Structure 1
Amino acid sequence: MFNRSVRNLVFGQTLSNLADVMATITIVTLMYHISDSVTYTALVPLVRMISQSISGLISPLLLDRYPLTFLLKGSQFLQFILFCIIGWYAWQSLSPETLWVMLLLIMVWAFLDGWTSPATSALIPRLLDNSEHVMKANGVFGTANQIVQLAGWAGGAIVFNWLGGTYTLLSIAMMYFFAFLMTSMVHEPKRKSEKKSASDVESKEAPKAGAWQRLREGWLIIWSRPALRSLAIMDFLEGLAGSVWAGAFLLAYVKTILHRDETWWGYINVSYFIGAIVGGLCIVAISSWLNRNRFGAMMLGMIGYGVLTLIFGYMTSAWIALALALFMGPLVEMRTVAVTTIRQLSVEEELLPKVLAAMSTLNTFIFGISVVVLGVLSDLFGIAAIYVICGLLSLVATGIGYLYRQSFKELQPQQTTSINRSL
């Protein structure tokens, strides 16, 4: 179904994503055990968010200069070296007085991970020859990621307790190394903009864009195209809505609304992941139909998720809540794959990495802010209310998509020269 480069990319990034999940579990657990402080441990996701946002903001400079495969390999190899250092440090020097050094290492880790997602997503359409294959590849990536999330979060703590912190960190380093080896076997096709033609002479004579222009290029492209701009607004609203599934909120919902213990927190998470995996497999199976109906698939996923989240907020039956989480999985996967494919096929390949980097940075920032906002709202109105609010936000995002439906139908790659002139 896919060529060798796509298969290697899938395996490499799946292994890298598993290493990310295992690393998060291990580092958070180590920080909590050493500091015995929830506040100090909470700095881990905060530091990661800030560092990834900075990495995403400056990534256009790298994406402009280096091949995408080079950036992926560089990130994975440097993360291999970094986790060897973190493993040694955890074994030799980690103590309550030196936790700040661990936070600095976490910052470096997050920075190296900041451009991998946009680079991977931008690489997929370059490796495939038609839009149906791109849709199918996105479904495969989504399914593999959900399997990794399920396996990683379910087994991460078990592995940590079995191997201990140091050996777990070294195992994570080896995962990054093998991911690097797999990515090294991905052969990126020569970009169209790099092929020899008569226009190359003119492009060499044209003044090269400055660093500031290259940094803001992706944002300007998003703002200048109505469909991409509406997708950004919809992502903003859905980013706020999606944060309601962060661990603290769901645990509070299980305890205060469903009146169940922490075990049901795990059950609901597992139920969602199973639904997402099944949904991803279905997307791969019907990718031809979905590719012809990308906008409809996106809208169906969004409205279904919004309605189920609204019902979830009013639900007091644990078993029905479990079923709702199961059905949310396929809907979220459908929406995610449809949106990803729309972006990949509507922006020129040389500009796509910058657009995806801008969106990744925006989503990272939104998640960090929304967790704080929803925390305040849950204290003011109760935990059930924020699920209702987030369901409504998702439905508002659906309404924006409907208002811009014509721009989605007309969405086609524009000429690069017109964008460059606007800069």
Structure 2
Amino acid sequence: MASWVLSECGLRPFPKIYPKPRTGMGSLSCGSPSRLTVAGTDLGSCSLIGIRERNWALRVSAPVRVPSVGEEEEEERESINVVNGDGDEFFDPGAPPPFKLSDIRAAIPKHCWVKDPWKSMSFVVRDVAIVFGLAAVAASLNNWIVWPLYWLAQGTMFWALFVLGHDCGHGSFSNDPKLNSVAGHLLHSSILVPYHGWRISHRTHHQNHGHVENDESWHPLPEKIFKSLDNVTRKLRFTIPFPLLAYPVYLWSRSPGKKGSHFDPNSDLFVPNEKKDVITSTVCWSAMVAILAGLSFVMGPVQLLKLYGVPYAIFVMWLDLVTYLHHHGHEDKLPWYRGKEWSYLRGGLTTLDRDYGWINNIHHDIGTHVIHHLFPQIPHYHLIEATEAAKPVLGKYYREPKKSWPLPLHLLGDLVRSMKKDHYVSDDGDVVYYQTDPKLAGTEK
């Protein structure tokens, strides 16, 4: 989502031992059956979707030349384990990993790449049925003991609908682009998300995960931008619950330091051949707004607020919470990259898995996030198996999530701690860590 939250870690001087990363300039769909070779590079079972000129804007969700897929490294990797003066091993999360993206891919069973449209649609039917069932029960009982429970349950189900639409945007819902688009529009428009507008910006997020300037969702604020914000704005951006309500604002105006709207086909977010897609999604979004306006006349604005408005706000909080915690809040400081130090693999390895207890199944295992970021074409129902298969390759670069109680209340503590520490990164340096503003942290003397 936005560039709003940042942390306590400044630029750390690393020895210049990193190999030169190779960044992608197009996109591909990593399904399974056929193999593809581009510029002498075997990309494995991937199909080319399109090469774009715009900065980091790629067609689906992985670069054409993903770093090290099917390639031999041009330089030897430095060891990530350094023995310190006490004889203990020190793991440097900002050092280049001793494995390649192709090594991770090879460890994942082939069937994990197979997309089953019937299975995907069964999840849609399940979730939509629950949404209407919850609304019918709440409306019929209509008492103030039931309504708060309904809001929490229905807001969580709205979030589940979003995750299924998210899969449509990645193409992991099915191999049929038309089915993905129709299902994506229905799912996302119903919760006031412009499907194509969001899909394109989210693609940019995946293409540039871990990059300070080019990432699109909850990336760090550089120090200069952070210090240019007035005190009230800074306070709001890093004080709960305001950051958890950021998503609608982001859709209209993006993050600090970035311009454009997800509803405007002429926005900097999009290239000319995407205008029709953006217009289609904006029209669908407008149609949903019109439906809601009509319902407010039929059932009254208060009833609509109870049935739809409050659950929508809960959904927005889920979206911001989950997106933020997949990129922030680990007890160890994680790097962000710029310039030649960034690569698709290194950026993806800074993402985090999270355990949501009972919610894992409800929101389609989106907490299994590291493998999703590296290989967004894997369907959500294969992510857990794919992650288990990849763990031996990832080693210490995989951070085991803390086990949750039935409800993931422990994550609120991680969120609050991160909001107090993770504020901005240095304007200089290619490997940087969050730093803390003493005023926001409450530590200024």
TM-score range, shorter chain: under 0.3
Question: So what's the TM-score if we normalise by structure 2?
Answer: 0.26
Question: So what's the TM-score if we normalise by structure 1?
Answer: 0.27
Larger strand fraction of residues: 2
